[in-house]
Amino acid sequence: MDAVRVLLVTNSRDFAVDGLVKRLQTRGVSYARLDLDLLFSEHVLLDLQDTSLVRVFPSGTSQRIRSPSAILYRAPTHLRESSGHRYAPEQLLQRHQWAAFGRALSVFGDSYWMNAPAATYAAECKPFQLSVAASVGLRIPRTAVCNFLPDFFEGSERVAVKALDSFLLRHGGGDLFFYTQGFSPSELTLEACQDMPLVMQDYITPKTDVRVTVVGNECFAAETASVIDGDWRLKRAHEFFRPTKLPAAIETMCITVAKRLGLVYGAIDLARVDATYYFLEINPTGEWAWLDDAFEGRISTAIVEQLVSARVA
């Protein structure tokens, strides 16, 4: 049996985890990395008789993992590039089953999870996370989940429209993603909206976008260098984030939201208008590597510290 202290459940293109691996190696911490997109090249066995994971590598060497102290779960709740335009039906089936294998590791119930699959999936529900944020005192935009324009948005200049569930599709050689977009009420006709449920919110502008990375009881907040109109991701080439200091009450509420959702890690998006902060969403598997340099590597260090300091229950 290999004594694995930290188990990393991710994929081969997760460069943020590459940085964590280097830190674990520097500290001499035993770890195993499960790239779900590459596991087909191994023989894997999740043995429910003694709750262990057995891996037989192409080289013929094997590894048995029992009761890791901590597990980092970085598998998204939706499969990227899941369009049939790139993958055959058999390949899509395989990808879905390997994703399910990652969730099956929940049998390691005594391990410290960052974040547990059940909590990750629950927290991805936008209406649920918004209700939790409001319950702890964070201000949220007026929100409706609907397939028509509610009357209370009729007098608005613009309405923010989001997908109820995140997705990314590969189509025609490009990526399709539903970014937050602003529409006038006249554009949101019944014909335009009725095919699927949408999230509609008050359109907040002008605003400063704030990304709050929560790791346990720590917050790392960064904000856009300028005031933004619309989704900052559509302006990424022209925007950068710089560290900022949140009001103590807002920081405490961000940490509390993550805890209420059962999350050790969460990437929270806020919008600041003057001194007022609005909670927009939290991503349980959100990226942090793109911000780490601005914090001199302290986000990755905090994540590793959470994993290393964990003890088996």
Q: Tokens 């089953």 correspond to what residue? A: 97
**CATH code for the structural domain at 6-114:** 3.40.50
* Residue 87, pLDDT above cutoff 60: yes
Homologous superfamily assigned to 119-138+204-304: ATP-grasp fold, B domain (3.30.470.20)
Question: Quick one: CA torsion of 291, 294, 298, 300, rounded to 10 degrees?
Answer: 30
Residue 95: band (very low, low, confident or very high) from pLDDT cuts 50, 70, 90: confident
Residue whose C-alpha is closest to residue 282's, from 138, 111, 109: 138
Residue 153: band (very low, low, confident or very high) from pLDDT cuts 50, 70, 90: very high
Q: Tokens 């856009």 correspond to what residue? A: 224
* Residue 53, pLDDT above cutoff 70: yes
Mean pLDDT of 78-97: 69
Lowest mean pLDDT among 94-98, 139-143, 200-204: 94-98
Distances (CA, A) of 301 to 191, 211, 254, 288, 304: 50, 18, 20, 11, 5
Average predicted confidence (pLDDT) for the chain? 89
* Cis upstream peptide for 11 (omega within 30°): no
* Residue 193, pLDDT above cutoff 60: yes
Percent of the chain with pLDDT over 90: 77
In this chain, the answer to whether the domains covering 6-114 and 119-138+204-304 adopt an identical fold is no
Mean pLDDT of 15-26: 96
pLDDT in tens, 155-171: 999 999 998 887 655 55
Q: Which is it for strands 265-273 and 276-283: parallel, antiparallel or unpaired?
A: antiparallel
pLDDT of res. 235: 55
pLDDT of res. 66: 93
* Domain coordinates in residue numbering, the chain: 6-114, 119-138+204-304, 142-203
